[in-house]
Amino acid sequence: MITTDFVPGSPCWIDLGAPDVAATAAFYGSVFGWEFRPMSEDQSEYGTFQMNGKTVAGIGPLTEAGARSAWMIYFHTRDADATTRAVEAAGGTVRVAPVDADGEGRMAQFSDPQGGQFAVWQPGRYKGMDAADQPGALCWTELYTTDAAAAKEFYGGLFGWRTNDVPLPGGGGTYSLITPAGQGEERMQGGLMQLPAQALELTGGRPYWHPVFAVEDCDGTVAKVTGHEGRVQMGPEDAQDVGRLAVCVDPSGADFVVLTPVATAA
């Protein structure tokens, strides 16, 4: 499970780059009940999503020409500069060099050797999201990659992640479960799976990370997604011992998963 007791390599923050911040914030408000709080009077600039008074995510305008709207997952690090050097040594790419965020922390963004984009956060005054593993909050992270073995080697070397391979039902391949270094299975935080480039249509074949949000009613949430101009890529469907889930895409093309965990679904 994802917690807010962050350890090195665990997800600690997520944010969304959107072409229209206000419109996209309204979409997620309708789907999850999130409240958008801009950090300035200009509602087209960066802000946060609040749920029951707790910060669950951020949203801001796209900053790269030609970039697609997408969620970015940040992993906790004690030293963003050291992590940057490790990324480069392992064949990754630095997209945004380490930079201070007004004393709140220090961040950097990267691409893994296969092209999957991710980020790290070194906390200052701000540790990260206030809520996780509850309805409306991040409960899992997932990487679709074209080379699972290479991804496991890269992230394992970078963060010390431990992976456990499990077969997918119906001979659908292998899913690798991710646990932070030195943590028990109760801290399992995500997974990665290998897919052919042609299956990664949202990115033109490039690997990508996406967030999984817990919801009380998967089907009801999907109805909100499609009722507010989003679409469904897969599902809703039941995953054995996991729950009921659907892969969704917001009106700007950013993908995310909604999951009613098996205990809730029952």
Query: Tens digit of pLDDT for each residue in 217-255?
Result: 999 999 999 999 999 999 899 988 899 999 999 999 999
State whether 147 and 68 are in the same domain. Answer: no
Residue type, 190: G
CA distance 212 to 248: 10
Nearest-Å Rg of the Cα atoms of the chain is 17
- Scanning 80-181, the segments in alpha helix (DSSP H) are 80-89, 148-159
pLDDT at 42 over 90: no
Specify the pLDDT at position 77. Answer: 98
CA distance 67 to 254: 11
Burial of 234 (0-12, 13-18, 19+ CB in 10 A): exposed
State whether 244 and 146 are in the same domain. Answer: yes
Query: Tens digit of pLDDT for each residue in 144-185?
Result: 999 999 999 999 999 999 999 999 877 778 999 999 999 999
Domain range enclosing 32: 11-123
Specify the pLDDT at position 43. Answer: 62
Query: Looking at residue 232, which CATH number applies to its domain?
Result: 3.10.180.10
**Residue 264 pLDDT level (bands cut at 50, 70, 90):** low
State whether 59 and 109 are in the same domain. Answer: yes
Specify the pLDDT at position 262. Answer: 87
Predicted TM-score of the model (pTM) = 0.95
Query: Tens digit of pLDDT for each residue in 103-121?
Result: 899 999 999 999 999 999 9
**Looking at 68-169, which runs of residues are DSSP E strands?**
70-76, 93-100, 105-111, 117-123, 138-145, 162-167
Whether residue 4 is contained in a domain is answered as: no
Domain count, the chain: 2
Report the residue count for the chain.
Answer: 266
Helix (H) or strand (E) holding 27: helix 21-32
State whether 142 and 105 are in the same domain. Answer: no
**Residue 136 pLDDT level (bands cut at 50, 70, 90):** very high
Q: Are strands 93-100 and 138-145 parallel, antiparallel or unpaired?
A: unpaired
- SS3 assignment, position 80: helix
Specify the pLDDT at position 265. Answer: 47
Helix (H) or strand (E) holding 26: helix 21-32
State whether 261 and 143 are in the same domain. Answer: yes
- Rounded to an integer, the average pLDDT of 71-75 is 98
Whether residue 68 is contained in a domain is answered as: yes
State whether 195 and 105 are in the same domain. Answer: no
